[in-house]
Structure formats: C-alpha cells, structure tokens
Amino acid sequence: MIRLERLNKYYQQGDEKIHVLKDISLEINQGEFVAIMGPSGSGKSTLINIIGFLDNQFEGEYLFKRNSVIGKSSKDYAKLRNQNVGFVFQNFKLIANLTVAENVGLPLLYAGYRRKDIGERVNNVLQSVHLKGIAKKLPSQLSGGQQQRVAIARALISKPSFLLADEPTGALDRHTSQEILKLFLDLNQKLRSTIIMVTHDYQVASQSQRMIQIMDGRIESDRSVSK
C-alpha cells in the first residue's frame, strides 16, 4: 500500500542544508502493524509526516496504492490525507468543549455527512474501541486511557486506509499503555486495520508485527517480531 523509494529529506537552516532522511526505501502492506523506533532527532516524525501526506517536500518516490504522489497539489494532498489517514497523537488532541460523540463525529461533519448517519457511525465506532455509555461526556470527565480511545475512534470513523499513531502511549502509565496496545492489536486482527506507530518504548514496539529502527535518518534495521 505504501512504498517509498530512495526517499531523501533536507531542511534548510540559514545557509545550512540538513540531511534528515537518507535513502529511505520501505514498503508497508495493507493489514500490517508496524512500530517505528529510534532516538530523538533520528527523523521519525519527519518520516511519518511524509507517509501521512502532511509534507510533500522531499526527494525520491512515494507510491501510495501503486500511484505516485509526486507533483500533487496541496489540495490533492489534503484529499489524500482526509480520505486515507487516521491520526492518533500522544496528547489525544480532543476538543475540550465538545462531547465524546461530537469529537468522534467531527471528521464526518466536515466531510458533509448528515447528522443521522453520523450518529449511527459514532455508536458503531465507539463500540469497536470498547467505549459505551460515555458518548455525552466531555473529555475532561474521562481518564487518559479513555481519552485516547476516543481519539482512536475519531481516527477510525472515516474508515482510513491506515492509522498513524505518534507516541500513542507516551502520556499514559504502563497499565493504560498496555490497554491501548491491546486495542491496536484487536483492531489490527479483527478489522485488519493497518497501523503505523512511532514509539520510544521497546516493550510497546515489541508487541507489533514489525519493528523499524531509524538511526540518524537511515533505516538501521527492519525486522519481523517473533512471537
């Protein structure tokens, strides 16, 4: 589904050109659960911003579902992103004065769906993240783990081609992190969701199917996790 070929990324800082991603070639298939690891500053965020169609300034090839995304306009990029990527963040990024149901339904509201259809989809997706009976609550009334589940429901509601999770357990204690991991495994196994997750936590990464280690902008290792 995702294929990067000899991808290079530079940032210009004053007169200096910083080479941040170096000859990255990578293929991620539908249904995979991949963890991306690496030290701070190694280029993980830069890489997932490119994979998630947030950044189109790079050299090399990016084929998505066999089509090149090179040369697409910002508008086409926004469309690719909205139709294909479900984002999950470390700090949840829920809207404080909207209820759980409103937060989860927001992407569909923006996409022009009717309220009645949104309500049904919201109920279904809340069920798939094992959250029932909290639709009318505000984010501040929920635990961190529940808030992350709501954020995952919001990411899933548009039926994206893949989930992109940036340190999804970074703000959670070990027990709650494990619950979120279990949810990802469940979504991956039952719904065949494709999940790409950045994490610093080896214990979290080792529960995925595949670990990619980035070091100084290069893929240092890419291996299946033996279970």
Ligand X SMILES: Nc1ncnc2c1ncn2[C@@H]1O[C@H](COP(=O)(O)OP(=O)(O)OP(=O)(O)O)[C@@H](O)[C@H]1O
Q: Least distance in Å: CB of 212 to ligand X?
A: 12
Q: Least distance in Å: CB of 165 to ligand X?
A: 13
Nearer to ligand X, 18 or 111 (CB): 18
Q: Least distance in Å: CB of 10 to ligand X?
A: 9
Q: Which of 108, 128, 126 is nearest to 116 (CA)?
A: 108
Could you say which DSSP state residue 161 is in? Answer: S
Q: Least distance in Å: CB of 7 to ligand X?
A: 13
Q: Which two tokens stand for residue 190?
A: 């039952």
Nearer to ligand X, 56 or 123 (CB): 56
Q: Least distance in Å: CB of 42 to ligand X?
A: 4
| Residues engaged in binding ligand X (CB under 6 A) | 11, 13, 18, 20, 38, 40-46
Nearer to ligand X, 54 or 63 (CB): 54
Nearer to ligand X, 10 or 113 (CB): 10
Phi, psi of 116 (to 5 degrees): -65, -45
User: In the block, which residue shows the tokens 């429901």?
Assistant: 153
Could you say which DSSP state residue 29 is in? Answer: -
Within the chain, residue ranges assigned H as helices are: 44-51, 74-84, 100-110, 115-128, 144-156, 174-190, 202-205
- H/E stretch holding 24 reads strand 16-28
Nearer to ligand X, 5 or 216 (CB): 216
Q: Given the DSSP bridges, would you call strands 67-68 and 59-64 parallel, antiparallel or unpaired?
A: antiparallel
Question: 85 near 160, Cβ under 8 Å?
Answer: yes
Q: Least distance in Å: CB of 9 to ligand X?
A: 8
Nearer to ligand X, 41 or 143 (CB): 41
| Angle CA 171–132–146, to nearest 5 | 5
Q: Least distance in Å: CB of 215 to ligand X?
A: 10
Burial of 32 (0-12, 13-18, 19+ CB in 10 A): buried
Question: 163 near 196, Cβ under 8 Å?
Answer: yes
Nearer to ligand X, 11 or 110 (CB): 11
